[in-house]
Chain A
């Protein structure tokens, strides 16, 4: 209802629509459909019984249960931790609140599989530094804590996933109209009653939506379970898919198991996304309004410093300690030596950066793949978002549905789908090349690009374009002179949102790599698998430096543009 195709504009809309649909179909829909097709059709026949059989196998059944156990544990834990810290930094008089808030967001930057690698070094039952320290100095018979366990996996995942809840709840608490709480206070309620009866219920949708996000992520999460679970026979869905396909070099049976498990992931993810939309979409909780005063702060009194110490300890334990271990181990000549000056050097870092073909390739691959995926996805995303947000054309509904797909398809599913689609069965064989990884990255990160670009486009009010049309601009002129310059920040944001995570990508690349197409994530993982612990750590250290530098640059940039 907002736009009609003018005489000169005829043809433009259908072209854009067609291109958008084509991209999403090829990149996302076909792989997903192939997975579902392969799961349900055996030898050209619809076959459900077979699915029950596969799910009944002890290994697959156990993987399914494990995914659920780990995801539930992680979700509950992260929600509690995230909500508590969010409340602490927004509603109390904790000292250095702003700094603490910034620190709690750091885990967003740390790839969880690198965290897992660090915790493995710290808490593996026999060799872990902490466990050894306790056994040596306090006469413990066994390890203090075995990280190769459900508890270990859940603990590590909580450490690196809780910011999803933290950031959502912080946002909700900060935007909440303080008079909602003040009116409870004047009604006679004390601060604890208010927290219980007013504050928490009002931010419940944000808490829940953050929790669902974690659930979604953890169900399909590869890195941590692969690092910490496989040793002890703990598999979840993605790691089992990986293991089956990897071991059997892509046999039919393994692909079939993979597709069945992947289908389950897709269905679960779709359900979670739907649930989240329902919770947030109701709009019943309009809690932002009014002239704002500082919200009330709970006086912590005697608890002020103990709670500050708790926060600092948490940050030290989850961020500083693992990072330090990675860098230190990366400096060791051989894994197992003590951290003394004689044993530490920068040799490994030099080797990894300049001499070791495997890691040099990995860095080159990751950087080029990241750049390629980011640029392509950025442009595709802006075009698709333009259709869904701004255009009024027939057939838009299909695109809106397709546009939802990238949000609900986990990485390991994409990888499997891409294998099915691009292994030569349909005329194009990209298997064992970097191109297959590129295609998978585009599918995986399309959601980020769509989100950033639609947000930017929604800021461009229709009347801005209409004003240009009324001034005599054709549709193309209005797009060029008004829309594109205005969504440029959104496109840049999309670029960085894709480039940075792709530097540390593991879930997809691990399924698709060939000897010369390792990425940084794959290199760290395989080096560690092969017992090259110090090289793996050095590589991880370099990855961390790359990521942190990149993030800092973005923060600078977004501060400057005010976004």
Chain B
């Protein structure tokens, strides 16, 4: 049975539709990410679940219980929802010690002193904060502050943890480390996670399932691997990782790069659905293009730029007046600037419309 359920939820700010008839079901214990560019409605969705925003339409249920419904003018206030939440800007209270921060939600619930003590210590231990318990969160690093926020959210042992870009304010090195810590905490405590981020690698690494959003509309909900392997549309393809698009059109019944005489080789045959399109694009990922051994591949191009970036070498290759980016491991032999090379697309995707 789904744990958090959004039914046909819409939210408008004046003329702007921030979230458009969204249906979601999140399982108990699942780590669910909402991914999209800024302004796509992911944070608004999270804030509606938290109870900080009301809805224009739809209903939200948690654990079978209705918590938000504009039709019945019923909103369970945020403080009654029993969620844990972590914000991008840490939001730890500077006038309390680390321990007081973590104990705050327990004190509010008027638990017995011994219980407060036990749970606070437990949450502090889980986040490696025991030593910092007596200090002010102001003296901690960004990562330390975010651990305090996590511990505070954990203390009440919530069923659902709402995370609003919790790692965006940290430096990249720490971001990766904290990502694993969050995952470990979830394993230990078993809460469900709703995770908002604009960083696709973060969403991929952390989630059981991902929702990709654009302008308030859900584009795809699936496992990370499926979102990567079978993107639902061009937007999802371009949002997940690096992408190349070569613009094509039909000339005399054959697919050609725009402005080019030679048609694409038969190995690169567009699917039937593209027949109806005036223009369409051949999409590929920079890591999924190989240099043809013989120099004769599906496509032929000239190397315009070659950059050694350490682990990978980044090529910009001109193919029929359009640029294609190719990234290969530094151990893979490749052509030099100005040389002509053959290219094979390992997994071509086809999308309608011009890039």
Contacts and interface: CB of A to CB of B under 8 A. Distances in A.
A284 B138 contact: yes
Contacts of B104: 184, 187, 189, 197
B36 interface: no
Contacts of A291: 88-89
A186 B136 contact: no
A188 B109 contact: yes
Given A187-B156, A188-B105, A188-B156, A286 B79 contact: no
A328 interface: no
Interface stretch (B67-75, B91-99, B296-304, B311-319): B91-99
Contact of B89 (A177, A189, A190): A177
A202 B96 CA distance: 10
B82 interface: yes
A433 interface: no
Contact of B152 (A183, A201, A204, A286): A183
A287 interface: yes
A285 B152 contact: no
B349 interface: no
B149 interface: yes
A298 interface: no
A23 interface: no
A186 to B, nearest CB: 4
A479 to B, nearest CB: 38
A298 to B, nearest CB: 12
A188 B85 contact: no
A183 B47 CA distance: 12
A99 B303 CA distance: 64
A286 B94 contact: yes
A177 B109 CA distance: 24
Contacts of A177: 89, 91
A247 B83 CA distance: 73
B77 to A, nearest CB: 8
A202 B79 contact: no
- 8 smallest A-B Cβ distances: which pairs? A290-B89, A187-B105, A179-B91, A179-B87, A289-B89, A186-B85, A183-B91, A188-B108
Interface in A281-337: 284-287, 289-291, 293, 296
A253 B101 CA distance: 60
A299 B79 CA distance: 15
Among B85, B89, B90, B138: residue with most chain A CB under 10 A: B89
A357 interface: no
Interface in A162-186: 177, 179-180, 182-186
A198 interface: yes
A193 interface: yes
Interface of A: 177, 179-180, 182-190, 193, 197-198, 201-202, 204, 284-287, 289-291, 293, 296
A511 to B, nearest CB: 44
B105 to A, nearest CB: 4
A191 B136 CA distance: 24
A182 B83 CA distance: 12
Contact of B108 (A187, A286, A296): A187
B156 A183 contact: no
Contact of A201 (B88, B89, B91, B95): B95
Contact of A290 (B78, B81, B91, B136): B91
B84 interface: yes
B87 A188 contact: no
Contacts of A287: 94
B51 to A, nearest CB: 8
A188 B83 CA distance: 9
B55 interface: no
Given A186-B79, A187-B104, A188-B109, A180 B93 contact: yes
B6 to A, nearest CB: 18
A186 B94 contact: no
A287 to B, nearest CB: 7
Contacts of B82: 188
A186 B84 contact: yes
B235 interface: no
A182 B156 contact: no
B271 to A, nearest CB: 41
A182 B85 contact: yes
A180 B91 contact: yes
B52 interface: yes
